[in-house]
Amino acid sequence: MVGLLEKTTGLVGFGVCDMVKAEPDNKKSEDQLQCGQLEEVILQAENELSLARKMIQGKPWEPLVQEPPANQWKWPI
């Protein structure tokens, strides 16, 4: 079990996170996920949860209060 804890992620702005309990070996967990470092996956999940909460408040699935300008959704601008 010696050396299983990461001392640093090597990524600027990412702290080491010890939240994973099912697989104590971080490298094995990262290999299984194939989505980058665990800290990145956790950050992405937190961002998605935050977006879901904002969408509940904003209710983007409901009809618009007023019609949008004629070319608002035209791409490219």
Cα–Cα distance for residue pair 66/74, rounded to 1 Å: 17
15 inside domain = no
Q: How many domains does the chain have?
A: 1
75 inside domain = no
At residue 19, the pLDDT reads: 61
At residue 35, the pLDDT reads: 86
pTM: 0.62
Cα-based distances in Å from 36 to 11, 14, 23, 41: 11, 12, 16, 7
Cα–Cα distance for residue pair 2/13, rounded to 1 Å: 26
Domain range enclosing 36? 26-58
Greatest alpha-carbon pair distance for the chain in Å reads 63
76 inside domain = no
18 inside domain = no
20 inside domain = no
Instruction: Say whether pLDDT at 65 is over 60.
Output: yes
